């Protein structure tokens, strides 16, 4: 057994719907016991030292021991085109994204980008990612292989498209079904890997392809399904043209069997009231991608209103439409979007979203995203004074949240002191 010492915060309830005092337990001198890849115990350092005298102690001093960050929506194949200038969604896809994604039929290219991607995200303290791969099965193999090598719990799937994309990036309805099924059978449940059925979004799939993937989901209801919805007004108008019989964007997915509690709906900025109510009714998850929504100019997600309505919401970088690999930077952007909507998110809410909230959106909070005993030991150890700018501000902090907030707003890889995955130290 290993005993990690540091500051700890544990959420006992969701800090959006409960008062802060009822939602968090904080230990100035806390400890997390790790054994056989899992969190065996958590609590005050003195108590755990007495209870586990044989444990090997790793003292992280004043650092914060947090669950590793859970990034609920990314495109790892867009790693090399992150920060591409000047386009809105559809032009950005055509100009930057599709040419790069076309290269992932080459297993060597896919492997090289997957390695780079996981180096970057683990350096940022992220231990779980949910990725769109490309149309090529090789891209899925590369993603899962690189994650398994690091012992990470990750989710992902082949991105399916059979129209409105370059020929090199299109398959067909039966092909999408067959490839997705074969990949699901190859990877789902192997190591810590989970398959996600992945139609890119309504404009790039024919009704036949959406129906084929809906049928696959019905045959495998235990897997998740991810797609995009209502990111930009031009996209929404295009969907209305392509699917004239649908009531709205959400209806396109629902009509083809692609709406359920395991649906992860990326962006979800410009939803109608009907869509919001229906998503809540079926308990599908919304994934907030704030750096991307600012970078591509998409809009301001209604976190407050959707939380008040009881939505299940995760947080994500959306790399490379998003402009960062870091969930710290993503929390900062979520804060700024909240400010622009008149609802500044509390640091506890931001931290919860990046850990347990995202894990809940993936229906995995019993395994990742918390420090609860029994959970898998995926941890990020955070230095709350990692730069001069942060340290001088944190020195004025009067409580743990004031101590954390400068790292949320100004922190980067330098704040990540160590990362643990599946009970092993991956970086330090």
CA-closest candidate to residue 129, choices 322, 386, 373: 322
Extended strands (E) in 220-267: 224-229, 263-267
Nearest Cα to Cα of residue 323 among 84, 37, 150:
84
Residue 201 binds to ligand GUN (criterion: CB under 6 A): yes
Interface with ligand GUN, residue 256, by CB under 6 A: no
> Which residue lies nearer to ligand GUN by CB, 318 or 383?
318
Q: Give the largest Cα separation in the chain, rounded.
A: 68
Q: Which of 292, 324, 355, 422 binds ligand GUN (CB under 6 A)?
A: 292
- Residue bearing tokens 């370059």: 166
Q: Taking CB within 5 to 8 Å according to partner kind, which of ligand GUN, Zn ion, none is near residue 97?
A: ligand GUN
Least Å distance between CB 340 and ligand GUN?
A: 19
Neighbours of 86 (CB within 10 A): 8
Min CB(99)–Zn ion separation in Å: 17
Which pair of structure tokens corresponds to residue 237? Answer: 């108008």
- Terminal alpha carbon distance of the chain: 18
Minimal distance, residue 289 CB to Zn ion, in Å: 7
Task: Between 71 and 318, name the residue whose CB sits nearer to Zn ion.
Answer: 318
26 class by beta-carbon count within 10 Å (0-12 exposed, 13-18 middle, 19+ buried): middle
Q: In the window 12-41, what residues touch ligand GUN (CB under 6 A)?
A: none
Using alpha carbons, select from 305, 222, 224, 208 the residue that is nearest to residue 266: 224
* Shortest reach from residue 57's CB to ligand GUN, in Å: 44
* Residue 350 binding target from ligand GUN, Zn ion, none, CB below 5 to 8 Å by type: none
* Positions of E strands within 36-180: 38-44, 56-67, 69-75, 126-132, 154-157, 159-160
CB closer to ligand GUN out of 150 and 228: 228
The yes or no reply on residue 97 touching ligand GUN (CB under 6 A) is yes
Which is closer to Zn ion, CB of 39 or CB of 213? 213
DSSP code string of 317-342: --BTTBS-S-HHHHHHHHHHHHHHTT
Q: Whose Cβ is closer to ligand GUN: residue 263's or residue 365's?
A: 263
Would you say 317 or 355 has its CB closer to ligand GUN?
317
The rounded distance, in Å, linking the Cα atoms of 225 and 214 is 9
Residue from 43, 157, 321, 406 in contact with ligand GUN (CB under 6 A): 321
**Shortest spacing between CB 78 and ligand GUN, in angstroms:** 7
2 vs 293 by CB, closer to ligand GUN: 293
With CB atoms as reference, the residue minimizing the distance to ligand GUN is 321
Instruction: By CB under 6 A, tell whether 318 contacts ligand GUN.
Output: yes
Residue 75 vs 153, nearer CB to ligand GUN: 75
3-class DSSP assignment, residue 142: helix
| C-alpha distances out from residue 241 to 52, 231, 244, 258, 276, Å | 64, 16, 6, 20, 21
Region of 89-97, 352-360, 371-379, 390-398 interacting with ligand GUN (CB under 6 A) = 89-97
Contacts with ligand GUN by CB under 6 A: the residue count is 12
Minimum CB separation from ligand GUN for residue 90, in Å? 9
Q: Which residues bind Zn ion (CB under 5 A)?
A: 266, 318
Query: Per DSSP, what are the bridge partners of residue 315?
Result: 288
Q: What phi and psi, each to the nearest 5 degrees, are found at residue 364? A: -125, 15
- Find the shortest distance in angstroms from Cβ 313 to ligand GUN: 17
- DSSP conformation class of 371: -
CA distance 313 to 306: 8
* Stretch 216-235: interaction string toward ligand GUN, x if CB under 6 A: ------------x--x----
- CB closer to Zn ion, 72 vs 403: 72
Distance (Å, rounded) from C-alpha 170 to C-alpha 30?
Answer: 52
Q: Check residue 75 for interaction with ligand GUN (CB under 6 A).
A: yes
Least separation in angstroms between residue 75's CB and Zn ion is 6
Q: Are 66 and 383 in contact (CB under 8 A)?
A: no
- Closest contact distance (angstroms) between CB of 258 and ligand GUN is 14
CB of 339 to Zn ion, least distance (A): 24
User: Would you tell me which residues interact with ligand GUN (CB under 6 A)?
Assistant: 75, 89, 93, 97, 200-201, 228, 231, 292, 296, 318, 321
């Amino acid at each position: 057994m290993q005993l990690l010492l540091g500051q700890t915060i544990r959420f006992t309830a969701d800090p959006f719907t409960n008062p802060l005092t009822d939602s968090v337990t904080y230990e100035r001198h806390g400890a997390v016991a790790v054994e056989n890849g899992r969190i065996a115990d958590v609590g005050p350092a003195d108590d755990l030292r007495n209870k586990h005298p044989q444990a090997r102690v790793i003292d992280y001093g004043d650092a914060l021991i947090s669950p590793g960050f859970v990034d609920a929506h990314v495109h790892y194949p867009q790693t090399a085109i992150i920060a591409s200038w000047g386009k809105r969604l559809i032009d950005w896809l055509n100009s930057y994204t599709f040419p790069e994604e076309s290269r992932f039929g080459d297993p060597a290219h896919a492997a090289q980008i997957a390695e780079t991607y996981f180096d970057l995200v683990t350096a940022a303290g992220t231990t779980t990612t949910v990725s769109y791969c490309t149309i090529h099965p090789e891209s899925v193999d590369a993603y899962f292989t690189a994650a398994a090598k690091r012992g990470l719990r990750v989710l992902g799937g082949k991105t399916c498209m059979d129209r409105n994309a370059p020929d090199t990036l299109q398959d067909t309805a039966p092909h999408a079904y067959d490839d997705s099924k074969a990949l699901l059978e190859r990877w789902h449940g192997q190591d810590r890997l989970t398959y996600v059925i992945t139609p890119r979004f309504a404009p790039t799939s024919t009704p036949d392809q959406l129906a084929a993937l809906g049928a696959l989901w019905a045959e495998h209801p235990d897997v998740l399904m991810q797609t995009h919805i209502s990111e930009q007004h031009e996209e929404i108008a295009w969907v209305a043209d392509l699917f004239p019989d649908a009531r709205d964007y959400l209806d396109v997915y629902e009509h083809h069997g692609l709406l359920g509690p395991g649906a992860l709906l990326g962006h979800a900025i410009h939803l109608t009231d009907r869509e919001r109510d229906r998503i809540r009714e079926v308990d599908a998850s919304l994934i907030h991608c704030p750096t991307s929504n600012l970078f591509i100019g998409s809009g301001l997600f209604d976190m407050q209103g959707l939380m008040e309505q009881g939505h299940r919401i995760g947080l994500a970088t959306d790399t490379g439409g998003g402009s960062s690999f870091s969930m710290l930077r993503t929390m900062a952007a979520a804060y700024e979007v909240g400010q622009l909507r008149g609802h500044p998110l509390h640091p506890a809410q931001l931290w919860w979203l990046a850990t347990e909230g995202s894990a809940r959106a993936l229906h995995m909070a019993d395994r990742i995203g918390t420090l609860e005993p029994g959970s898998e030991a995926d941890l990020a150890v955070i230095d709350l004074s990692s730069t001069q700018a942060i340290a001088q501000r944190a020195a004025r902090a009067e409580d743990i949240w004031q101590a954390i907030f400068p790292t949320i707003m100004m922190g980067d890889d330098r704040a990540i002191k160590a990362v643990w995955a599946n009970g092993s130290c991956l970086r330090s």
